[in-house]
Amino acid sequence: MPQRIFSVDPGSPGDRAGVRPGDTLLTINGHTILDVLDYRYHSEETRLRLEVERQGKRKTIRLRKEESEPLGLNFETYLMDRPRACVNKCVFCFIDQLPRGMRETLYFKDDDARLSFLQGNYITLTNLSARELERIMALRISPINVSVQATDPQARCRLLGNSRAGNVMEIMRRFADAHIHMDCQIVVVPDYNDGAVLDRTMEDLASLYPAVTSVSVVPVGLTRYREGLTPLRPFDAAMAGTVLDQVDRMGETCLKRCGTRIFCCGDELYCKAGRPVPDWDWYEGFPQFENGVGMLRSLEDEFRDALEELEDRPEAVSPFTVATGAAAAPLLTKLLQIFRDSCYAVQGQVIPIENRFFGEMVNVAGLLTGQDLLAQLRDRDLGSRVLISASMLRHGGDMFLDDMTLDDLSDTLGVPVIPVRNDGAALLRAFLDTEE
């Protein structure tokens, strides 16, 4: 059931038409509104007839607005419904590898098509009812991000721990026929979906082009909290190199066949293999940037461009420390040296932070905790400030995964800790200690 309208934006079409907080939205132009997807889709038109319930009575409200202008109604929950939980028991699930005692919200496993469309979350398609499938196609809900992992039915059921997970290609073909665009992800788990299984998965997904135009291939993430879970092999350099070569071969085939690579590997695989990331043009516009594909290349090239365009080169910059994960540390050290060669009297250092909280196999900056930063930076000469990746912060942008706040870390270290966006120009400004 739709939820009560919590507030109405002042001056919005809904406000001007007389919609009030406390009303319950029932229909728009005769269409029943069950959740945020119905609301977003049916409120696009310029002439709307809203049916609301107010103090137990039904009321019809008519209004006009600009095309795509927000109606201005806010509900008690973002989805106007409860988020749908994951029904799988994936052998590689990262949430199952979290320690106890963290924020309760971190343990919720969502697998909600609405969040895939609205926020870019990846979904497995295993908990969609027949009605939900039809609604996605009818409303043209697109794009959708799909965690495929494997298209071989047996391999996918084994990976996801769900006997109903094997029909992923059937669902995706229906979506493709309905012109639903899908961006996909393959989390490679050694001995489960690598080798021939990975080859088949890529061939199957390539057959869905142009409905599928980008697929990221990333390595499984393993923490030290795996007691009682399925034993899995971590990636080493040789295994990472094998997957890179396999995906590159398929990418070249797709480039000739479709004019696009479709498949690209996450930066972490290049780091694990000890290989340089590809050039800027290779990433074809970075469609899987938020999934860790091309972030290192983008950071380096944007930094170099911003430095080249810098007109006022300072004679001195206040000393600073960059604290980051082991994966990004070599690149940031390289960028700091480029910066040092370009400017005068630059005193800076890069300190790789070992992830003791989740385990040393986790080496990306976004999963570093406040306590690891504190333990490895305390009692060191940090200069006048510490720069960290903004991806380390959650919960409104001021709290680490272990609930330590940015202010707590800054106060304990005795220097300001400054989050920096994953953007080369922003990194240069942080080096220079200048505001945007």
What pTM did the predictor assign? 0.90
Residue 1, pLDDT score: 60
Q: What would the mean pLDDT of 411-430 be, rounded to a whole number?
A: 95
Query: Is the pLDDT score of 312 beyond 80?
Result: no
CATH topology of domain 95-293: pyruvate-formate lyase- activating enzyme (3.80.30)
Q: Tell whether domain 299-432 is in CATH 2.115.10.
A: no
Q: Cis (ω within 30 of 0) for the bond into 210? A: yes
Q: Pick the range with the lowest mean pLDDT from 234-248, 303-317, 369-383, 413-427.
A: 303-317
Question: Hey, which residues does 144 pair with through a beta bridge?
Answer: 182
Query: Is the pLDDT score of 436 beyond 70?
Result: no
The residue count of the chain comes to 436
Rg (CA), the chain: 24
Q: Which residue has the higher pLDDT, 244 or 317?
A: 244
Q: What would the mean pLDDT of 370-383 be, rounded to a whole number?
A: 96
Query: Is the pLDDT score of 137 beyond 60?
Result: yes
CB 356 within 8 A of CB 383: no
Interstrand relation of 212-219 and 182-188 (parallel, antiparallel or unpaired): parallel
Query: Is the pLDDT score of 208 beyond 80?
Result: yes
Q: How confident is the model at residue 379 (pLDDT cuts 50, 70, 90)?
A: very high
User: What residue segments make up the domains of the chain, in order of their start?
Assistant: 5-75, 95-293, 299-432
Query: Which of 57-71, 145-159, 307-321, 355-369 ranks highest by mean pLDDT?
Result: 145-159
Q: What is the DSSP letter of 407?
A: H
Helix (H) / strand (E) containing 387: strand 386-389
Q: What span, in angstroms and rounded, lies between the C-alpha atoms of 327 and 329?
A: 6
Mean pLDDT of the chain: 93
Q: Each residue of 6-47: pLDDT tens digit?
A: 999 999 999 999 999 999 999 999 999 988 888 988 999 999
Instruction: Classify domain 5-75 at the CATH class level.
Output: mainly beta
Residue 317, pLDDT score: 86
Q: What span, in angstroms and rounded, lies between the C-alpha atoms of 54 and 401?
A: 42
Q: Each residue of 79-131: pLDDT tens digit?
A: 888 888 999 999 999 999 999 888 888 888 998 888 888 888 999 999 999 98
User: Could you give the percent of the chain with pLDDT greater than 90?
Assistant: 81
> Smallest Cα–Cα separation from 172: which of 206, 222, 219?
206
Degrees (nearest 5) of the Cα angle 165, 130, 106? 55
Q: Each residue of 168-206: pLDDT tens digit?
A: 999 999 999 999 999 999 999 999 999 999 999 999 999
Residue 9 three-state SS: coil
Structure token digits, residue 139: 């409303």
- What backbone phi and psi angles, to 5 degrees, belong to 356? -85, -20
- What backbone phi and psi angles, to 5 degrees, belong to 15? -65, -45
